[in-house]
Structure 1
Amino acid sequence: MTTDFTAVTDEAIQIRHYLHQHPEVSDQEVATSAYLRDRLRTLGYRIITPAKLKTGVVAELGHGHPVVALRSDIDALPIHEATGLAYASVNPGVMHACGHDFHMASLLGAAQALKDADFAGTIRLIFQPAEETHVGAQEVMESGGAEGIDAIIGFHNKPDLAAGEVGILEGGLMAAVDQFKVILHGKGTHAAKPELGRDPIVALTSLVNSLQTIVSRNVDPQAVVVLSVTHISGGNTWNVIPETASFEGTVRSFSTAGRKLAKQRFMEVVKAGAATFDVTPEIEWIKGPDVVNNDDQLTPLVAETTAKFARVVRPVPSTTGEDFAYFSQRIPSVFAFVGSHGTSDWHHPDLKLDDQALTTGIKFFYYNALNLLAKLR
C-alpha cells in the first residue's frame, strides 16, 4: 500500500498546532499523555505504559522480535511564548520552545502510516516525559518501558537546518551535561568596614574568572569542553557585605577524560580560590546525561535509508545535551537532527518552526522503522 504522506502531514500539522497550544512542563504532562493515548488507541496500538511511569505513553504494534523503538519527548519549558501565532500557548508561562510538539506530531504521523504497513516484528512507540529536566529517559528505563528493545531511534528538530535536511553523525552527536552550584560562606559586615568580615563577593568574582582557565589552560585544545557560569547571586543592598554569595552553571564535554578533568579541576580551583579569600565553599555537582552516542553499525543503515527521502548532511556535534543518551548508552541507537527551518534557536520565546518540515520527521520514523525491522531479523 502506498502511503499518502501529504495527507498524513496535513493531519500532523493540526496535531502539532493542538499540542503547541496546550504545553505542559516536565513530569506534569498529564493532559498531553491522555491525548496521545487516545490517538494511539484510535489507530489500533496496544498501550503498554508501565504503571510506574506517571506521565508519558508507551505503545506497540506487531508481535515478536526484533523490537524497534521510536522515541519522542513530550514536555515543554517554563517560558512565556512571544510568537504571536494563532495557535500560541494557552497555558501562561509554558511553551513548546524546544519543538517537542514537532517531535510528537512526527511520531504520531508515523504511527498513522505504520498501522497499515506490512512488517514482521514489533514497533514500540515511546512518548517520553521530562527530557528538559534530564530524568525522563531514565524514568522510562527504570519503569520497564524499554525492556526487550533491539534498537531505538529518535531525533531532535534543528532550526538552523532547512526543511528536508537531516543531520546524521556516527559517534558523539550531543554533549555530556553536568551542572554545578556553589555557595561561598563568608562573614558579613558593614561595607565601610571590610576588614571585619570575609567577603564572599570578591571571592566569587575571582572564581568566575579563574574557572575559565580550566578550558583554556587544562583541556587539550583539540578536545571540546565548555564551562559556563550562568547565574550569580549575593547581597541585597548597597552598604552591606553579605554572609554568602553563590553561583551556578554547567560543563559540557564529549569524552570521559575531558569530563573527569573538568570536574577535578573545578573542585581544585574552587577550593583553592575560596581558601585564598578565607571563605568556605559548599559545592554541589549534578551529573547529567552522558554523550548521545550513535551506534557504529546502525548509523550507516539509518543514513542510507534517510538519503532516499531527504538530504543527509554531516552536522557539527552540538554542545547541548539530550537525555536520549540514557537510551544510547544501553541500547543500539541512532539520534539525528531533522531540519525544522526555525526563526530562532531552541529555548527562545519567539521560536517558530516550519510545519512542512514535519513530512521529513514522519518519514524518518516510518522508513527507518521498517528498514531496521527487516535488517535485524
Structure 2
Amino acid sequence: MYKEEKPLLKSEASLPKTSMPKPTSLINRIKNFCNAHTLIKPGDRIVIGLSGGPDSVLLTHILAQLRSEYQVTIFAAHLDHGWRAESADDATYCLQLCKTLSIPLEIEHARNIKLNKTTNGSKEDLGRQLRRTFFTGVQKKHKANKIALAHHADDQIETFLIRLIRGATVSGLAAMRPQYGPYIRPLLEIPKKEIEDWLHQEQINYCVDPTNKSDDYLRNRIRNTLIPTFSSIDTRSSTAILKAIYQLQEADDLLETVTQSTYRQLASPNNNLGYLKLLALPSRYLQRRIVLTWLIANQLPFQPSKKLLEEILRFLSATKSNHHALFPGWSIVKAHGYAKLVPAQE
C-alpha cells in the first residue's frame, strides 16, 4: 500500500524557452500520428504504461487532454520493479499524478508477478516481460482493448542498433511498429529532447531513473556512446537511421504478405504443413518464414531462432525419419506429404 504523500520529484535543468516547441504543435503532431495509423478510435479503453519517467508522464498528460475529443476511457498501470531503493517514490508520484488527472491507477510490485515463460537472462528482458504480464492483467481487469506505451523516436533508434549488433532478421531490424496487437505507441516519431522540452515548458515534474545513465546495460551504452559518436560524424545520422527503419518496415510488410499468401497455399485447414511443396520453394529465407508462421499458427510456446527453424527444415528434408522431438512437450510427425505438430506423448 502506497501512502499519498509528497513524492520526490526530479527533473532535468530547464532549457531556454527559445529552443522549445510550442506545446500545441507537439500535441497536434501526436494526434496526426495517431490518426495516420488509426491508433485510437472512439470507444477505446486504453491502459497507459506509466513508469513516472518523462516519456510516460507526457503520454499520460496528452491522452488525458485528448480523451474527451477521442471519446475514450483511460487507465494507468505502474509496476514497481523494486530494483532501486527509491522506486516506492516513483509509485507515489504516479499515484498523485493520476489523482490530479482523474485517471484510475493500478499499482503492483514485481515480486507479485508470475511469468509464464522464461526470459533470455537479461535484466532488461525480465523487466519487459514483467511489465507486459502486469499490463495484460490490468487490461483484462478493466476490459480495455489497448495498451499505450511511451516509446519514442530515440527508443526506436536504440532498438534498431541493439538488434543490428545482435544480428537480427529483417523483421527484427524493422524495429517497433506504431501498433502491434493491443499495444500502441503514440510517441514513436517524437524525439526524446522534444518530450523533455514540452514538460519543462509546461512545468511538469517527473521521476528520473539514475540507472538510465549506467553503462552496465547495452541500451545505455548505445545511448550514451554510440549514438553521440554517429551524431559527431554526421548530424543527420538519427534522421537517416529512422528513414532506414521505415524502409525496412516496408520491405518486411511485403515479405509478410508473400509469406502469408504462400502459407495459405501450403497449409491445410487445420494448420498441417505441406512440407514437400515447402521444400520445393526456391528461397530458403521464405521457407524459414513459413515455418515460423506455421509454429505461430499452431500457438506453440517457443523462442524463435534461425537455429530452430533450420532444425525443422533439416528434419522435413530427411527421408529416413518421420518423427522428430522438437522441444520439450512437442514433436513433428510427417505423413502423406504433410507435417503435423503433436504433443510429445503422441
TM-score category (smaller protein): under 0.3
TM-score, structure 2 normalization: 0.23
Structure whose residues are more often strand by fraction: 1
- More contact order relative to length (CA 8 Å, sep ≥ 6): 1
Structure whose residues are more often helix by fraction: 2
